[in-house]
A and B are shown apart, each in its own frame.
Chain A
Amino acid sequence: MLDVRDITVSFSSDSAGSVVVLDGVSLRVQPSEIVGLLGPSGSGKSTLLRVVAGLHRPDSGHVWLDGRDVTDVPTHRRGVGMVFQDEQLFPHRSVAQNIEFGLRMAGQPQAQRHRRVAEVLALVGLEGVRRRPVTNLSGGERKRVALARSLAPDPRVLLLDEPLTGLDRVLHDRLVVDLTSILRAADTTALLVTHDRDEAAAIADRIVEIADLS
């Protein structure tokens, strides 16, 4: 279970002194629950994801994961997965090498890694692209690989930062359906950040507005 308590984040900016982006935000995500986090751009929803992932340190407040305070735990030991808005696939590694990266970090033996890569590739509907370089994938394929990569190490919570923004309508709608079934099939606990209410309604069990969290 993810439990975010009283998170405050402010950024110092040249023009306006210090800007408070998150002001005492609290949020709970139950096991296997998918929460859609809505808000206009600039409302701090991506920052909240980065705080949960440990990529940004909050000024105050705590992040609890499965009953443990992880606020001071570095990202790599939190067991969170993250799908970035622009995928951030490692350009110098093939599809399979991208997906097995997390498994390698966890020290899994090769045979096991191999099995898991095949598993998640099947889950996202991408059999047969293992050896392809990630630089010549289509937009939809890139999203699927990014999703497969974050799901492979079986994270305690999956963070999705506007994963379907910037795709054309047809591809977007198809991926909404696929993403929903993939997350359900993997029984994932997930926090989805988006500004698209319909998308959130289709994927999430529960929708929260970031404005209501303070």
Chain B
Amino acid sequence: MDRHLDRGDAALSDRHPNRLPAWLLVALVGPPMAFAIVFYAWPLATLLAKGLGPGAIADVLGRSQTWDVVWFTSWQAVVSTALTIVLGIVPAYVCARFQFRGRRAVLGLLTAVFVLPTVVVGAAILAVLPDSLDRSIWAVLGAHVVFNLAVVVRTVGAVWEHLPPDLEAAAATLGASPLQVARHVTLPLLRPAITAAAAIVFLFTFTSFGVIRILGGGARTTIEVEVWRRATQLGEIDAAAVLSVLQLIIVGGAVGWSVWSQRRHGHAIALRPRAVRRKARTLGERRLVVATAAGVSGLLVVPLLALGERSVRTPDGYSWTGWTTMGRAEVRRGVRLGTNPLAALVNSLEAMAVATTLSVAIGGLATLAVAAARRGRWLDTGLMLPLGTSAVTIGFGMLITFDTAPVDWRASSWLLPVGHALIAVPFVVRSAIGVLRAVDPRLVEAAATLGATPARAWASVTLPHLWRPLATGAGLAAAISLGEFGATSFLSRRTTETLPIAIERLLGRTGSILQAQGYALAVILAAVTIALVMLSELVRDRARRS
């Protein structure tokens, strides 16, 4: 009785004698807060201050080239989103409603591609397309679809599989044809999920950076790429800052609209708690299932296979030259590389180690703080903000903030992993906070009635739940750091360039051995990323079962 009223407030309320001691809360909240303020809020403020300078705004907005970039960014994002939704609806339906052999494999494949670094997906599309289409708009759209298909299938499918089939049956008994059922019952019910998926895909494609850097061919640039080009290639910092702010405004507007729209069209549906999937019965259904599974798998697997194929292709037939020459700075006598692929691999692993350690430490403290502090929700929201800020914005902000003494940190090797950690921390918090929130506050109370001080009760009841989800988060952080390209483009230096940077550089060159090396590196990056994510999901599923 009264459970809903007094649950869990004991240790938290202001004057309650059982509250956690202040020093503990400060120790938990302090480091993540300081981290977010120094490495996120401050650079963002610097960026805004530069980008809102009246002279720079007038200059940038006055150029027609700016509007060309904004126009291209917008329309390719809209078309990419529409294509992804249209192509994703059928697989979403098939995976949600039918039980078939290979269903989990198809879903796993979608997820695997989704977690791949952008440069790897770009490289895979580059590998699979014939030279004539190589750096065309079709390549960009194709990469965006392949990348984001998982968003549509997962988001829409998650609602679809829980929609009661009886609703559709009811419409049919009222005289609706299958098409009318779809139009008047199913689609309206799926609409919030479709809007949500569209918003996510739009966000990803509007801020597309790695894919465009590989496939845009220089002629087509999104706002993100233009920010990078102006800032690092042309040295027009102010103009780049204005573009960054412009991008923040457009993205903010899009996110706001999608939240509003989802609220407006949300229905309270009695979703079935368990998904009911059945085997395909009619010939038509069976054909649909087989064609969809084959089509999706082909769409995802063929580019990845092409990646491997291109890594061993040379003008004189297949050979391992691309792989075996990787460590040598000199490919042939006299042909020297500006890029050392093996060194890039080592740099990437070093950055990954530091970034993962940092993300786990900061993310772990933040998770505990969010779960324990009364105003934890604010910290939670604050730490999610880097998710909504593009990696390019984060990297650019850090670049222009930490460039003067006493904070001239551009030459420090730790600035790059700090940038990676900033991007990874929200994922660490997300993967752990649910577990901590699920800890019954009555367990803490039980410890208190047995004589444990508030701090002791917290340490013996709440804290032990953190380790497993933190291991999951560590896997994600490592994968994110390895593939990170946006912030890295600003923060890495010649001597410390990472795998994605090396891949982009090698693929942008002529010379078949350099190209093969680029593809070989992409294969390595893809394999390691998928392995890390699978490992981290394995840990999570184990934890769930026990």
* Chain B residues closer than 8 Å to A72, beta-carbon distance: 17
Selecting from A28-36, A98-106, A178-186, the interface stretch reads A98-106
Task: Mark out the residues of chain A between 22 and 65 whose CB falls within 8 Å of any chain B CB in the assembled complex.
Answer: 41-47, 50, 53-57
Q: Which residues of A contact B265 (CB under 8 A)?
A: none
The reply to whether the CB of A163 lies closer than 8 angstroms to some CB of chain B is no
Least CB distance from A158 to B in Å reads 10
Residues of chain B with a CB closer than 8 A to A124's CB: none
Name the segment of B2-10, B366-374, B485-493, B530-538 touching the other chain.
B2-10
- What residue in chain A is nearest B464 (Cβ atoms)? A92
Contact of B286 with A by CB under 8 A: no
Residues of B with C-beta under 8 A to A189? none
Q: What distance in Å separates the Cβ of B13 from its nearest Cβ neighbour in chain A?
A: 7
Binds B, one of A79-87, A166-174, A199-207: A79-87
Which A residues are in CB contact (< 8 Å) with B5?
11, 13
Residues of chain B contacted by A102 (CB below 8 angstroms): 450-451
B447 contacts chain A at the CB level, 8 A cutoff: yes
Identify the closest chain A residue to B452 (Cβ): A105
Query: Quick one: which of B1-23 are within 8 Å of A by CB?
Result: 1-2, 5-6, 10, 13, 15-18
Residues of A within 8 A of B18 (CB): 54-55, 74-76
B442 within 8 A of A: yes
Chain A residues, CB < 8 A from B460: 90, 101
State the majority secondary structure of interface residues on B: helix
In the complex, residue of chain A having the shortest beta-carbon distance to the beta carbon of B447: A101
B443 within 8 A of A: yes
Q: B445 on the interface (CB 8 Å rule)?
A: yes
How many Å lie between the Cα of A86 and that of B446 in the bound state?
11
Q: Count B interface residues, CB 8 Å.
A: 29
**Chain B hits for A45, CB < 8 A:** 1
**Shortest Cβ distance from B285 into chain A, in angstroms?**
43
Give 1 or 0 for each of B343-379: 1 = CB within 8 Å of chain A CB. 0000000000000000000000000000000000000
A150 touches B449 (CB 8 A): yes
B448 touches A90 (CB 8 A): no
- Tell whether B453 is near chain A: CB-to-CB under 8 Å: yes
B31 contacts chain A at the CB level, 8 A cutoff: no
Tell me which residues across on chain A come within 8 A of B78, comparing CB atoms.
Answer: none
Q: CB within 8 A of B452: which of A81, A101, A159?
A: A101
A149 interface contact, C-beta 8 A: yes
Could you tell me which residues of chain B, from 418 to 473, have a CB within 8 Å of some CB in chain A? 440, 442-443, 445-454, 456-457, 460-461, 464-465
Could you tell me the distance between the alpha carbons of A59 and B504 in the complex, rounded to whole angstroms?
A: 66
- Among B443, B452, B464, point to the contact of A76 (Cβ < 8 A): B452
Instruction: Find chain B residues with CB under 8 A from A15 CB.
Output: none
Pairwise interchain contact A57-B442, C-beta atoms closer than 8 A: no
Query: Which residue of chain B has the shortest Cβ distance to A57 in the bound complex?
Result: B16
* Chain B: minimal CB distance from A7 (Å): 14
Q: Is A112 on the interface with B (CB-CB < 8 A)?
A: no
Contact between chains at A75 and B448 (CB < 8 Å): yes
**B2 adjacent to A75 (CB under 8 Å):** no
> Could you give, for residues 279-323 of chain B, a 1 whenever the CB lies within 8 Å of some chain A CB and a 0 otherwise?
000000000000000000000000000000000000000000000
Contact check, B17 vs A74: say whether CB atoms are below 8 A apart. yes
State which residues 3-22 of A face B: CB under 8 Å: 11, 13, 21
Contacts of A46 in B (CB 8 A): 1-2
| B14 CB, min distance to chain A CBs, angstroms | 10
Indicate if A138 sits at the interface (CB-CB under 8 A).
no
**B6 & A74 in contact (Cβ 8 Å cutoff):** no
CA distance A55 to B17 in the complex (A): 9
Residue of chain B at shortest CB distance from A72: B17
Could you tell me the distance between the alpha carbons of A154 and B2 in the complex, rounded to whole angstroms? 28
Instruction: For the complex formed, measure the closest distance between the CB of A56 and the CB atoms of chain B, giving whole angstroms.
Output: 6
The docked-state distance in angstroms from the alpha carbon of A149 to that of B446 is 10
Shortest distance in angstroms between B305's beta carbon and chain A's nearest beta carbon?
45
Give the residues in chain A near B449, CB-CB below 8 Å: 53, 55, 75-76, 80-82, 150, 155, 159
Cβ contact within 8 Å between B450 and A149 = yes
Contact B6 A56 (CB under 8 A): yes
Option from A47, A80, A88, A90 in Cβ contact (under 8 Å) with B2: A47
Set of chain A residues within 8 Å of B465, measured between Cβ atoms: 92
Instruction: Give the Cβ gap from A87 to chain B, nearest Cβ, in Å.
Output: 8
Complex Cα distance A43/B452, Å?
29
Q: How far is the CA of A74 from the CA of B445 in the complex (A)?
A: 11
Q: Is the CB of A73 closer than 8 A to any CB of chain B?
A: yes
A84 touches B446 (CB 8 A): yes
Query: B397-413 toward A: CB 8 Å interface, digit per residue (1/0)?
Result: 00000000000000000
CA gap between A57 and B9 in the complex, in Å: 10
In the complex formed, the residue of A with least CB distance to B3 is A46
Minimum Cβ distance to chain A for residue B80 (Å): 44
**Selected contact of B445 from candidates A21, A43, A79, A88, CB within 8 Å:** A88
Q: A57 and B13: CB pair below 8 A?
A: yes
Q: Mark A125-169, 1 if CB is under 8 A from B, else 0.
A: 000000000000000000000000110010100010000000000
Considering the chains assembled together, what is the distance between the CA atoms of A46 and B3 in angstroms? Answer: 9
Name the residue on A nearest B443 (C-beta). A88
Provide the residues of chain B in CB contact with A55, threshold 8 Å: 6, 10, 18, 445, 448-449
Kindly name the residue among B448, B450, B454 whose own CB sees the greatest number of chain A CB atoms within 10 A: B450
Contact in complex: B2, A21 (CB < 8 Å): yes
A42–B440 Cα distance when bound, in Å, is: 21
Min distance, Cβ A112 to any Cβ of chain B, angstroms:
15
- Bound-state CA distance A157–B503 (Å) is 70
- How near does chain B come to A91, taking the closest CB pair, in angstroms? 8
Q: Which residues of A contact B461 (CB under 8 A)?
A: 90
| Contact of B17 with A101 in the complex, beta carbons under 8 Å | no
- Report the Cα distance A73→B465, complex, angstroms: 28
Contact B16 A90 (CB under 8 A): no
Docked pose: A75 CA to B17 CA in angstroms: 8
Q: Which residues of A contact B447 (CB under 8 A)?
A: 90, 101, 105
**Closest partner residue, chain A, to B453 (CB atom):** A76
- The answer to whether A84 and B442 touch (CB under 8 A), given A11-B2, A54-B18, A57-B13, is yes
CB contacts (< 8 Å) of A79 on chain B: these are 451
- How far is B1's CA from A41's CA once the two chains are assembled, in angstroms? 6
Contact of B448 among A13, A74, A159 (CB under 8 A): A74
Expressed in whole angstroms, the minimum distance between the Cβ of B184 and any Cβ of chain A is 36
Write out the residue numbers on chain B whose beta carbons fall within 8 Å of the beta carbon of A47: 1-2, 6
Which A-B residue pairs are the 4 nearest by beta carbons? A102-B450, A74-B17, A75-B448, A105-B451
In the complex, given contacts A74-B17, A80-B449, A84-B442, what are 11 additional A-B residue pairs having Cβ atoms less than 8 angstroms apart?
A42-B1, A43-B1, A55-B10, A75-B10, A75-B17, A84-B446, A90-B460, A92-B465, A106-B451, A153-B450, A155-B449
List 24 A-B residue pairs with CB atoms under 8 Å apart, sorted by A's residue number: A13-B5, A42-B1, A44-B2, A47-B1, A54-B17, A54-B448, A57-B15, A74-B448, A74-B453, A74-B454, A76-B454, A80-B449, A81-B449, A84-B445, A88-B445, A90-B446, A90-B461, A92-B465, A101-B460, A105-B447, A105-B452, A105-B456, A106-B451, A150-B450
